Structure 1
C-alpha cells in the first residue's frame, strides 16, 4: 500500500521515551518531519500508521469499528554516524476474507470487543471490554490478532443475506484468513480455510537530521 504520512516515537539509547509524537509527511516525493537530535547518542525509532496527534506514550489507540489498516514498525536504530533509516511497516491486524460463488458485498459482526491499545515499545496488545458492531462494505473484515471466540457473522452475497457461526480461531498479525463458504439450505457452511501472507504494509527510507529536544 502507498503511505503518504505516518507517525514516529523516539527513544534514547537506554530506551527512555521522548515526549514527541512526530508526524512524517511525504511532500513531492520527499519525507519531511521535525528534526531529531543525534548528538547525544543513538536513537530508537518506532513508526506507526496512520498518524494520530492524540497518541502518546508510544501507544496507539485502536478502534476496529473504523476498519483502519493499522501499521507498525519494529525498532530502527539511528546514530550520528549512521543517520539513514530504512523502516518497514507491518500490518498490526488480521484480515479475514469470506468468499462465496456470488460476490460478498457486506460483512457484519455484532458484540465484538472493538477498542484496544497497542504499545509500540513492548509489542503488547490490550483489548478493552467495550463491545459493539463492526462491519465492512467488502468481503473482508479487519480483526485483532490473538485468540478469538466463535462469532456470529452476517453477510450479503449476490444480494442475499446469510449468517453463520465462525468457529473460534487464533489469528496472527499480518495474515489473511480466507474462508470459502458454500450454501447449505437457507444458510452457509465453511468449505475451506486458507491462511496467506497479507500484502506488505509500507516502507520509508530517509535520513534523520539533528535537533535538540527534551526527554521525558
Structure 2
C-alpha cells in the first residue's frame, strides 16, 4: 500500500477568561478565549524532503474570520506544547479558521500566503474549519502546497556509481514563487520569479548515488507545459553532466509526489518511468538524455 503524504493536526482549543483591554482580539465582546493545548500527527512522511514532525520553535499561522472581521495569529511550539502569540476569542457564532505553515510575521494579506521553492521549505496549509464557544475542538488536515519531485537511480554497472554534486530544475515554464488564496484554494504564480529548485549533494545524508538511491526536492506547482524543454532537469555528478528536457504536457500539482526512475549506463542517462502519487500517471516513459562533458 502506498503511503499518503499528508498529515492531520488535531487542535484541542481550551477556554479561558476575559481578555485585557490592551489585547487585540477577534469578537472583542466575548469573554471566552482559545488556546492550542495539543498538536498531533496522524501520519508522518518518510521522505527526507518533507516535514514529518514539529521542532522546538516551529510556528504556524492561523487565519481567523468571523462577523467582526479578520485576523492573523501565530503560535509557537515550545516545551512540547503550542502557545498562541495573542489570545483569540470565540462566541456562539461561528469563527472560520485556516492554518498555514510556516508562520509569517510580515503577513498583511488576510486571505492568502506566499510559497517558494528556493529555500526548500515544506509549505503546508489547510481548508476552512469552523469553531464556536460550544464546539471548541478543531481537527485540521494540513496539505502540502508544493509538488515533490523524486529521482530513483539505477545503475547497469554499480562500479560506475557516482557522487552527486547537484540536481537542478529550472526553466521558463517553472515559477519559483506563487500565492495561494486560502478561501478559494486557487494558486497564482508570481511573474518574473523563475529561480531554480536545487538540491546539492552536501545537503544529503550521503552524496554517493548507489543503485536504488533516491533524491527528492520540492518545486512550486506548474501548469501543463507547452513545449519540450520549457523546464529542464540538470544532473551533475563527479563524473557526469546530463540535462533532460521535461516533455510537453507535463504538469506538477500541489501535494503530489512524482517519482522518476533514472537509469545510468555507461555514458547514457535515461528516464525509465514516472510514477505519480499523493505527497498517478500510468505508463512508462523512456527518454534518452543528451550527454554533455
Normalising by the smaller structure, the TM-score range is 0.7 to 0.9
Q: In structure 2, what is the equivalent of residue 179 of structure 1?
A: 260
What is the distance in 1 between the residues matched to 2:141 and 2:238?
38
Q: What CA deviation, in whole Å up to 9, does each residue of 1:84-141 have, x standing for no partner?
A: 2122211111101112224755211233321211111211100022122221126222
What is the distance in 1 between the residues matched to 2:218 and 2:224?
13
What is the distance in 2 between the residues matched to 1:26 and 1:77?
23
Q: In structure 2, what is the equivalent of residue 5 of structure 1?
A: 59
Task: Tell me which of 183, 186, 190 is aligned to 1:128.
Answer: 190
Task: Tell me which of 41, 49, 55 is aligned to 2:93.
Answer: 41
Contact 1:21 1:53 survives alignment (8 Å): no
Change (3 A) 1:96 1:17: farther
Q: In structure 2, what is the equivalent of residue 193 of structure 1?
A: 274
Q: Between Structure 1 and Structure 2, whose CA radius of gyration is higher?
A: 2
Change (3 A) 1:36 1:107: same
- Give 4+ residue runs of structure 1 displaced > 6 Å after superposition: none
Deviation at 1:157, TM superposition (A): 4.5
* 2:245 is aligned with 1:170: no
For 1:39-118, list aligned pairs within 5 A. Answer: 39=91, 41-55=93-107, 56-101=109-154, 102=161, 106-111=166-171, 112-118=174-180
Question: Which gives a bigger RCO, structure 1 or 2 (Cα 8 Å, sep 6+)?
Answer: 1
1:171 match: secondary structure: coil
Q: In structure 1, what is the equivalent of residue 216 of structure 2?
A: 140
Give the aligned CA root-mean-square deviation in angstroms.
2.3
Q: Relative to total residues, which structure has the larger strand share, 1 or 2? A: 1
Show structure 1 runs of 5+ residues with no match.
199-216
Show structure 2 runs of 5+ residues with no match.
1-51, 155-160, 205-214, 280-293
Contact 1:46 1:76 survives alignment (8 Å): yes
- TM-score under structure 2 length normalisation: 0.60
Deviation at 1:25, TM superposition (A): 1.4
Q: In structure 2, what is the equivalent of residue 22 of structure 1?
A: 73
